């Protein structure tokens, strides 16, 4: 836990307001603390004054006894005290990975005023990371004392990196997909539960303002009961990440967890987010020789939802220019959404409803990442709950695995 010079953690018993003690990380908890049923934690930024600054609203943590006869132990109290101090400290972030996603996160963190950012990159760091401390091992990252971590390395390495970050006590934002294999996520789920840290999965389209409007329309019944949906996403792989060496693009390498179904798994996530749980899938995939990559570059899949609705998703690494659209048919109307323009349109069969929504003029793709990061920081502070949990991320990997299995075996696979 990082505590800047001059910061003091003060413990005050509500039963004995006059009793206060300053604590440091290495301070031993005395037996007196065992009798405290309520402990208030306050932070004093001014070392020269023995009082709380009038313009500072301290965070307060109150501990309740587990039972009438078993109050929190002194060690538990101290852990909570230190955690509260950590929550009030400026966030220090280790960004794992120096590819295009990692570089965007670094720039966005700086723009949000998070001054201390650590970059872990085996490549030595990107050219535009000047001013950010660069670390190349988890031992160095530990010395940096981060409180949050963004996992933005290749998919096959996500779980190992997230486990290391969780071991350091970091809250983690994990880029999608969580992993390339569902079994590898079990240990991570257990570790995050055990450490009681926050985990958010980076399915950024959950932050798209007009896709959120689509979700609102569905929940309000604007088009009646959804009966079918189709999402299409096509983009040319060599042009998808400008500036990167496409010969080493993780999205085109099986050993790094690449492949179309996993790399463009956003529609798998938002279909479930919009229409509910998936019960079975049927799929076909293909690999075109032109791209010379070792993974599928075309995929068509059909999903049966628990609600009874049917959905289809078509993906490819070929289409130029890129196109990403969603159409939903309901018993009383239709909804269309276009990622390129950001617009969403709801039409009622009877003609009574005709809704249009578009994002703000300054909206761009990075807006989603900034919104996602702001939400993550709010989750860490405890003021919001993750809108895409680790369990949600695991479900997307589960569906993706079912898609790939269906394509291999030529049959419907239950999820």
Q: Which residue has the higher pLDDT, 40 or 253?
A: 253
395: pLDDT confidence band, cut at 50, 70 and 90? very high
Q: Which residue has the higher pLDDT, 274 or 124?
A: 274
Query: How is 149-170 classified by DSSP, letter by letter?
Result: EEE-S-GGGHHHHHHHHHHTT-
* 209 and 336 in a common domain: yes
Q: Which residue has the higher pLDDT, 307 or 10?
A: 307
* 235 and 352 in a common domain: yes
CA dihedral for 235, 241, 245, 249, sign (positive or negative): negative
* 109 and 62 in a common domain: no
131: pLDDT confidence band, cut at 50, 70 and 90? low
Lowest mean pLDDT among 53-67, 214-228, 309-323: 53-67
Lowest mean pLDDT among 27-41, 128-142, 345-359: 27-41
* 246 and 179 in a common domain: no
The model's pLDDT over 281-306, given as tens digits with 9 standing for 90+, comes to: 999 999 987 777 778 899 999 999 99
Mean pLDDT, to the nearest integer, of 4-10? 37
Boundary-marking domain end, from 27, 54, 88? 88
69: pLDDT confidence band, cut at 50, 70 and 90? very low
In a domain, 382, yes or no: no
Which three-class secondary structure string do you get for 70-134? CCCCHHHHHHHHHHHHHHHCCCEEEEECCCHHHHHHHHHHHHCCCCEEEEECCCCCCHHHCCCEE
* 193 and 103 in a common domain: yes
Residue 337, H or E segment: strand 333-338
Tokens standing for residue 4: 């800047």
Residue 371, H or E segment: helix 365-381
Boundary-marking domain end, from 197, 225, 251? 197
Are β-strands 8-13 and 39-44 bridged in parallel, bridged antiparallel, or unpaired?
A: antiparallel
Query: How is 207-250 classified by DSSP, letter by letter?
Result: G-HHHHHHHHHHHHTTT-SEEEEEEEEE--GGGTSTTS-GGG-G
The pLDDT value recorded for residue 241 is 54
* 210 and 192 in a common domain: no
* 128 and 63 in a common domain: no
* 168 and 246 in a common domain: no
* 215 and 133 in a common domain: no
Tell me the pTM: 0.78
In a domain, 241, yes or no: yes
Residue 60 domain boundaries? 8-88
Q: What percent of the chain has pLDDT over 90?
A: 56
In a domain, 337, yes or no: yes
Phi, then psi, of 213 in degrees rounded to 5: -65, -40
Cα three-residue angle 44-49-51, rounded to 5 degrees:
55
Count CA within 13 A, CB hemisphere, residue 339: 21
CATH number at residue 330: 3.30.360.10
Q: Is the pLDDT of residue 365 over 70?
A: yes
Q: How many domains does the structure of the chain reveal?
A: 3
The pLDDT value recorded for residue 57 is 34
Q: Which residues contact 234 (CB under 8 A, 6 or more apart)?
A: 314, 315, 316, 317, 318, 319, 322, 323, 324
Lowest mean pLDDT among 37-51, 83-97, 299-313, 385-399: 37-51
Tokens standing for residue 225: 């009961």
* 171 and 110 in a common domain: yes
CATH number at residue 160: 3.40.50.720
90: pLDDT confidence band, cut at 50, 70 and 90? low
Phi, then psi, of 294 in degrees rounded to 5: -95, 20
DSSP code at position 62: -
* 162 and 290 in a common domain: no
Q: Which residues are paired to 282 by β-bridges?
A: 302
* 82 and 133 in a common domain: no
The pLDDT value recorded for residue 371 is 96
């Amino acid at each position: 836990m990082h505590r800047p010079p001059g910061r003091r953690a003060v413990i005050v018993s509500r039963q004995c307001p006059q009793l206060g003690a300053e604590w440091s990380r290495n301070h031993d908890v005395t037996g007196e603390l065992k009798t405290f049923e309520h402990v208030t934690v306050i932070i004093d930024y001014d070392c020269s004054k023995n009082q709380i600054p009038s313009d500072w609203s301290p965070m307060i943590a109150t501990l309740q006894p587990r039972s009438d006869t078993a109050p929190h132990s002194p060690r538990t109290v101290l852990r909570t005290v230190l955690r509260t101090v950590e929550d009030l400290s400026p966030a220090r972030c280790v960004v794992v990975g120096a590819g295009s996603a990692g570089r965007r996160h670094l720039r966005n963190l700086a723009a949000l005023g998070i001054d201390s950012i650590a970059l872990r990159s085996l490549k030595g760091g990107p050219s535009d990371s000047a001013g950010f401390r660069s670390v190349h091992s988890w031992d160095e990252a530990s010395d940096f004392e981060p409180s949050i971590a963004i996992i933005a390395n290749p998919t096959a390495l996500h779980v190992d990196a997230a486990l290391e970050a969780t071991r350091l006590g970091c809250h983690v934002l994990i880029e999608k997909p969580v992993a390339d294999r569902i079994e590898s996520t079990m240990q991570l789920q257990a570790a995050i539960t055990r450490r009681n840290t926050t985990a958010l999965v980076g399915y950024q389209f959950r932050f798209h303002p007009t896709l959120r409007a689509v979700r609102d329309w569905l929940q309000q019944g604007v088009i009646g009961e959804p009966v079918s949906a189709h999402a299409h996403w096509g983009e040319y792989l060599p042009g998808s990440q400008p500036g990167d060496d496409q010969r080493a693009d993780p999205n085109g390498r099986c050993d790094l967890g690449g492949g179309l179904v996993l790399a463009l798994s956003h529609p798998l996530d938002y279909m479930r987010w919009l229409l509910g749980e998936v019960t079975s899938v049927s799929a076909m995939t293909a690999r075109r020789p032109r791209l010379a990559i070792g993974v599928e570059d075309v995929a068509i899949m059909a999903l049966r939802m628990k609600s009874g609705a049917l959905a289809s998703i078509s993906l490819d690494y070929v289409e130029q220019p890129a196109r990403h659209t969603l159409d939903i048919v309901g018993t009383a109307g239709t909804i269309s959404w276009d990622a390129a323009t950001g617009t969403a349109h709801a039409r009622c069969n009877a003609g009574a409803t005709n809704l249009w929504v578009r994002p703000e003029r300054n909206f761009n793709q990075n807006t989603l990442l900034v919104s996602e990061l702001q939400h993550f920081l709010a989750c860490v502070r405890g003021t919001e709950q993750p809108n895409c949990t680790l369990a949600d991320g695991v479900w997307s990997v589960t569906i993706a695995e079912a898609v790939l299995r269906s394509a291999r075996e030529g049959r419907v696979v239950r999820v």
